[in-house]
Chain A
Amino acid sequence: MALLEINDLRTSFFTDAGEVKAVNGISFQLDHGKVLGIVGESGSGKSVTAYSIMQILASTGKIVGGSIKLDGQELVNAGEKTMRKVRGNKVSIIFQDPMTSLNPTHTIGHQIMESILLHTGRNKKQAYERAVEMLRLVNINEPEKRMKQYPHELSGGMRQRVVIAMALACEPDILIADEPTTALDVTIQAQILDLMSSLQKELGMAIIMITHDLGVVAQMCDEVIVMYAGSICEQGTADEIFYNPRHEYTKGLMRSIPTAGTFGQRLSPIAGTPIDLLNLPAGCPFAPRCDAAMKICIKQKADRMILNDCHYAACWLNVKDKIESGELSPAKEDSNE
């Protein structure tokens, strides 16, 4: 059994302008000790996926369908009492802005200890020792002294390390990191990523690494999910996604980034503008920007197709020959709900 199993998850926001289908039927699994990356452009549903797992959505947001199973236990509609046990204990989350997780009016020590006292059976003295140990683990120098400091006395990189210490103090099975280094400089980003990698190996937890930076994904992740407009385009090992992309959006993304091979040349950007979730097209959400779009793409969203045991993609091009031979047509194909 996978540690986390998500099936056809749907999360919407009900706004004045209408229903925003932020997460529109996604399925994936996460095993113990794995690092899973979620990439996609802003608004593609990465954070909403994370917030759905934690059930920390804004009041206008609601999980409208699907299932989230953690260690076999269903979390959708499980109730706040269950979720409170899950959060921090089994699943921790860190955000782009460390101040989301830190209280400016309390010392670092107070905050880490509070989290330990809340989630574990430790007493105050043990919690103090654990907090110091965690600060040392995330390479904060003079941890005893730092315990007495307030968040504003630390740099951005140090704050993010404190937040990681807090998130890991209760030894969660899963750490969700939502753009944890996006606000940081590359040298500090490198420190944080190295830290996360070594802690992950040491503690054996799983990480969901949400980012729009393909460099971070290449460095950190065993597996990668590519999202577009609330759907998963493609999922596979990092090598499969980078070297053998099988969805047109992923291919476009890979061509858009400057790399050693593009220096001095023009890039090949994806044409068009990002999608409007209030007006999702009927078929493949990427069809309006896709150079390879076929008739079927406009009518019907492609299913998750298994390409090999470590690679899925939802793109009709993978069965182009069957479509051309008439074996597959939108009328006959009704497995899409």
Chain B
Amino acid sequence: MSEMTRKPLVEVKDLKKYFDINVGMFKTLPLKAVDGVSFDIYRGETVGLVGESGCGKTTVGRTLLHLYTPTSGQIIYDGKEIKTSADIHEFRKKATMVFQDPYSSLNPRMTVSDIIAEPLDIHKMYSSPEERRQKVLELMEHVGLNSEHASRYAHEFSGGQRQRIGIARSLAVNPEFIVCDEPVSALDVSIQAQVINMFGELQDKLGLTYLFIAHDLLVVRHISSRIAVMYLGKMVELTSAAEIYERPLHPYSKALMSAVPMPDPKIARESHRIPLSGDIPSPLHAPSGCPFRTRCAYACERCAMEVPEFREIEKDHFVACHRVEEIN
């Protein structure tokens, strides 16, 4: 991967996103989908974001791009806080999103060419129809689509091809930063590998920075330089991809990593799983203190009273657990 300078491209500070949920006639409760998340993303790197369904990964991605209005917290891009609608409009040219579902995220009544050019249209990024056409063809080439496909409709394509169309579209504005929300989860293994490689090639060629959300931990490990683990709206651990696999420190990360079924019978036979009982609590009724305490084997009184701080335990290794030093 390309050289990264130690200046963050994206800084997220105590980001919160609450949704109001109706729970009775006149009663709403705040659903704390993201509840105080802080992290940085450096230029040219890929940060993987993992965690169980509903833990807030997509919400982090969308709020980060101001597709959802943050409840509170700061998003700083390239040293500048994104606040006003003018900031957001400019920001949209630099930061885009690729979605999970290649089937529903593309309008079936639009041609491939119009789908890819839509962001160009919105941001008026060409001076003639010819320039628009040229840009579309260039984008299609970037993602390995045949130029003959330009006038066809999205529904005529396979899942892998649709995902390429979606990626070409997010590249249209020449972004620097892309939030990829489960971009390969709906694809078969062989096609998934093609698309994963493409993300890598585009990153090298265009110097892109990614936030890569996925539930397949091997895919995330493959593509990321650093990995963040979320649980119930909070970040519990953030460190290098190698470290999170070899030496996870947070009790939840430990259980999560040990649960990954390794595609290797010998490793699978020898691996020791850390069992995790129970289910993830509802974010409407998150436990007090540490969100993981209802399933944590190390939970103590303090865990119910105090929210553990997300702190740098070792250089570049952040963990939110009161007892992390004792248990490791």
Contact = CB atoms under 8 A, between A and B. Distances in A.
B158 A273 contact: yes
Interface in A282-305: none
Contacts of B147: none
A258 B12 CA distance: 30
A188 interface: yes
Contacts of B161: 273
Contacts of B160: 273
A191 B276 contact: yes
A87 B223 CA distance: 44
A259 B218 contact: yes
A216 B262 CA distance: 8
Nearest to A216: B261
A274 B188 contact: yes
A141 B254 CA distance: 24
A185 B215 contact: yes
Q: Is the interface of A mostly helix, strand, loop or mixed?
A: helix
Nearest to B223: A258
Contact of A187 (B158, B221, B222, B255): B255
B268 A219 contact: yes
B23 interface: no
Count chain A CB atoms within 10 A of each CB in B215, B242, B265 and give the residue with the most: B265
Interface size classification for chain A: 35 or more
Given A157-B279, A185-B53, A256-B190, A219 B218 contact: no
A239 B265 contact: yes
Nearest to A261: B264
A186 to B, nearest CB: 5
Contacts of B53: 185
A269 interface: yes
Nearest to A242: B265
A296 to B, nearest CB: 24
Interface string A253-274: 1111111001110111111011
B188 A185 contact: no
8 cross-chain pairs, A with B, having the tightest CB-CB distances, nearest first: A215-B261, A269-B193, A258-B222, A256-B193, A190-B259, A41-B188, A214-B263, A270-B190
Interface of A: 41-42, 155, 157-158, 185-191, 193-194, 212-219, 238-239, 242-243, 252-259, 262-264, 266-271, 273-274
Interface of B: 1, 52-53, 158, 160-161, 188-194, 196-197, 200, 215, 217-219, 221-223, 241-242, 255-256, 258-268, 273, 275-277, 279-280
10 contacts: A186-B217, A186-B259, A190-B273, A255-B193, A256-B189, A258-B221, A259-B262, A267-B196, A273-B158, A274-B191
